[in-house]
Structure 1
Amino acid sequence: MATPAPSSDDSTQRPARSWLPRSLLSRNIALLVALVALTQICSISALLHFVQRPRIDRASIIFSDYVKVLDDMLVAMPPAESRAAAARLNAQHDAPASSVIAPAMNPLRFFRTWQRDVFLEALRRHLPADMPVRWEIAADESEDQARLWIRLHAAGEPVWIALPMTADAQASGITTAIVLSIGLALLAALTGWLIQRHLNRPLAELAHAARGVSAGDTPAPLPTDGPTEIAEVSRAFNQMTDALRQAEATRALMLAGVSHDIRTPLTKLRLAIAMALPRGTNDSLVASTESYLDTIDTILQQFMDYAGSGEREAPQPGDLNALAGQLVADFAGLGHEFDLEENTLPVFAFRLVAVMRLLMNLMQNAVVYGRSGLSIRTWQEDSFACVAVRDRGQGIRAEELERLKSPFSRGSNARGHSGGTGLGLAIVDRIARQQGGSLTFLDRDGGGIEAVVKLSLNPAPFSGAAPRP
């Protein structure tokens, strides 16, 4: 069956939306997480720029003043005392080889190393040009053991002195704030998820009830004590199910009335003809009249079958091979021999009467229009039980039979056959779809038609709508 090509609008919209979560729950959670993350990023940016950076800058000013006072003291001392004071400060003539001007950023300790770089930048800005600053990390690569080397002047000579870092330069309070913010974001996401699940529960109940209605069940009324919007939807659904229940009752009553009101006068007409025309007086007229009455009764039964189609019949575990064998035996008793090829099929749930009507319609078509080469084959294909009814008729091709699945469609080879309404294959197709399957037709090698019915071993609820051509 051909599938229409997607429109240009669909083709342009689908790729853009393919990355979106499918469910409303996941979309709301993703939106909530994105909003919380955005607010946290904005808060952290404001904290770093307007709070933490000025704080580090003030600390660098205090630290630079301390360093400049120390340098002035060393310069003002006599040379011997200046050298002795520098020695007590573990001064060195050269900076350690492990010290660097621009230390590398550590992604695992991003905020701490960011504070360090901001501090070094501000410190160089506040110190004289002849007092360079270098950063040294200890051999164990621990930021806690890092030292700041600054070049001072003792007895007229430049010396490098390691000075301890201030608490402001290496403060980890920002890390604590970040961790707290992430915890609050996760808590907000969890809370939103719980709230959304609470809101989605009545929607899930509504979907379950809708599938039950599609399958022909009558679900219990949905509760209407939830949020206003969902309660309104539940209330509308309850009204719809009540209307469908009343329509079903009306349809059942109408079908029963039609069957009774039409068949009763037909029966009386048969009796009147039999009484008015005794046997032997005009046998050809009696036979012709009874044939017309049988045609009317057959047409009426086909309309009744299509209106019902087994929707209210409960599926029950059954053996499709046994059902096919029984029908083959029944047709053999009527003089129509079908070859039966059975393959292993599991016992699965299906509507027995409806599937029996399906096979009988296909077998009757094969007898009427195929006449020869009659056979039935069963097999399993993936999660489907398959049955094929085959004949060697020459009057119609598979393409035309696909069109005849529409109600009230009759083929060109049906002109010589009276009593048809064009509903036989429509009934078969409807019953197959009720079982989560399909009806297809294939041209056989050497001539003839093969009608293949697939019945799902695990059928989903039937929607009642015909598949899109």
Structure 2
Amino acid sequence: MVLSARTWVELPPVTRTDFEHELKTNHGLTIGAAREPLPPSTSYLHYRFILEAALTQRLNRPVPVHTTADPTWYWADIPAGGKMVRVGFARERIGASPPAAIALLLAAIAALTLITALILARRLTRPLAQLAQAATRVGQGETPEPLPEQGPEELAQLARRFNRMVGEVRELLANRTTLLSGISHDLRTPLARMQLALEMLPRAVDAKLVDGLRRDVEEIDRLIGQFLELGHGLEAGQRTDTDLRALLEDIAADARRSGAEIHLNATAGGIMTVNAMALRRILANLVENAMRYGGGKPVDIELEQSGDANVIRVLDRGPGIPESEREAVFRPFHRLEPSRSAATGGSGLGLAVARQLAQANGWNIELLARPGGGTEARLTLATSPRTNDAKS
């Protein structure tokens, strides 16, 4: 702008028209003599103030930039050669678009808000995810590490209460186990004396009466054992490498010795690191139920691998379990036959013990209808199996 004003002054008047045309065509500048003062500017665009400062520094005197009745043009009166030369340019040459700038600013604010929201959400959801994992472990009978009691006050307070609850649950389970163990010991001592007394009765006593009393004592002793199993159900036992096929063969052999017809079909095998005692109790209970309610028909035991889990099925051809009762039978003392007679069913604790042992070890047990009639008891061992080669 300054160079153009000085050049225009130095040119002969006859050539100024061509120079003005060239400036307007090639550079977008309009130039001419300043004949009347410019009105005060109504523009507050930041670029105007930057241009005024640059012109003032270049010419060592204040050079204001004005707008006329047409706000789309900017004008500046530049002194050159003893004259005032007016140079103007269109506002569109600045390249700044307030609507576009506002839209860009809003987009940047929205992006920053989204990123901040994601960071805050992550900060809030991470402790909740840890809490969910810890709650799952508590449900499986494990004792998780204490949760960090930090972060927002609400989450820190929730973590403190959860840690306190885990400690109380652990203490409650320990007290329950101790209580049941003490009751078992105290009850089995008089039971042993009763058995001894029965054996020492004179021969003149009615043999049927003695046999009945003996069976009652044995039934009480069995019930005490089941109560103990129920009490230990939430405790995760020691895990060892166990051959599933061999374990099922032992359980099937024990069942055959009691007169049952057992068919074992094990398409999978290998070694799994599991609580072998808990697994044996669960499977023995399922096989016993299949024998008791299977109507004297053969019982099938199947073992197969499904993904990273081994699935064990115990199948019978009994009358089956109504769908509405398939979860209820896992409750302690729940029986499909309500008479409570030992001749028509067990004590109602077997499946409750099996479910608690399964949950304590992270397994899943369910009862399903068997195609063609009967019941399928399915036990899914979610622990990844280890083959014999991997073990060696």
Shorter-chain TM range is: 0.5 to 0.7
Corresponding residue number in structure 1 for 2:50: none
Matched letter for residue 376 of structure 2: E
- Amino acid aligned to 1:438: I
Match of 2:157 among 232, 235, 240: 232
What's the counterpart of residue 87 of structure 1?
18
Deviations 1:262-320 (A, max 9, x none): 11111111112222x23574321111111111122222222322232253314444332
CA distance in 2 between partners of 1:171 and 1:340 (Å): 84
For residue 359 of structure 1, report the CA deviation from its aligned partner. 1.1
Task: Please say if 1:342 is aligned against 2:273.
Answer: no
Question: Residues 342 and 221 from structure 1, CA distance in 2 versus in 1: closer, same or farther, beyond 3 angstroms?
Answer: closer
Give the whole-Å Cα distance in 2 for the aligned partners of 1:391 and 1:187. Answer: 63
2:364 alignment partner, one of 432, 437, 443: 437
Q: Aligned pair 1:252/2:196, yes or no?
A: no
**Which residue identity does 2:70 align to in structure 1?**
H
Runs of at least 5 residues in structure 1 that lack an aligned partner in the other structure: 1-65, 74-80, 100-114, 116-121, 134-147, 149-162, 460-469
Farther-moved stretch of structure 1 (288-297 vs 298-307): 298-307
Pair 368,400 (structure 1): closer, same or farther in 2 beyond 3 Å: farther
Q: Secondary structure at the match of 2:268?
A: coil
Residues 441, 452 of structure 1: 8 Å contact kept? yes
Picking from 134, 137, 140, the partner of 1:215 is 140
Q: 1:310 to 1:338 in 2, by over 3 A?
A: farther
TM-aligned CA deviation for residue 259 of structure 1: 0.7
Q: Residue 345 of structure 1: CA displacement?
A: 4.2
Which residue is 1:428 aligned to? 354
Higher strand share: 2
Does the 8 A contact of 1:391 with 1:450 survive in 2? yes
**AA aligned opposite 2:166:** T
Given the two structures, how large is their TM-score scaled by the length of structure 1? 0.56
Note closer, same or farther for the CA distance 1:373–1:400 as it changes in structure 2 (3 Å cut): farther
What are the equivalent positions in structure 2 for 1:277-426 lying under 5 Å apart?
Answer: 277-279=201-203, 281-309=205-233, 311-345=235-269, 347-370=271-294, 371-393=296-318, 395-399=319-323, 402=326, 403-412=328-337, 417=343, 420-426=346-352
Amino acid at match of 2:367: T
- Alpha-carbon distance in structure 1 between the residues aligned to 2:174 and 2:330: 28
Distance 1:315 1:173, change over 3 A: farther
Shift in alpha-carbon separation, 1:411–1:215, aligned structure 2, 3 A = closer
1:381 Cα offset (Å): 2.8
Distance in 1 between residues matched to 2:238 and 2:353, nearest whole Å? 18
Query: Where in structure 2 are the equivalents of 1:46-61 lying within 5 Å?
Result: none
Q: Distance in 1 between matches of 2:368 and 2:125?
A: 43
What runs of 5+ residues in structure 2 fail to find an aligned partner?
Answer: 29-46, 48-65, 75-86, 386-392
Per-residue deviation, residues 409-436 of structure 1 (Å, max 9, x unmatched): 2224985726722122233334444434
Counterparts of 2:128 and 2:325, CA distance in 1: 42
Structure 1 counterpart of 2:158, which letter? V
Please list, as runs of the form range in 1=range in 2, the aligned pairs for 1:127-138 lying within 5 A after superposition: none
Alignment partners' CA distance in 2, 1:230 and 1:324: 47
SS of the counterpart of 1:268? Answer: helix
Counterpart Cα distance in 2 of 1:246 and 1:228: 27
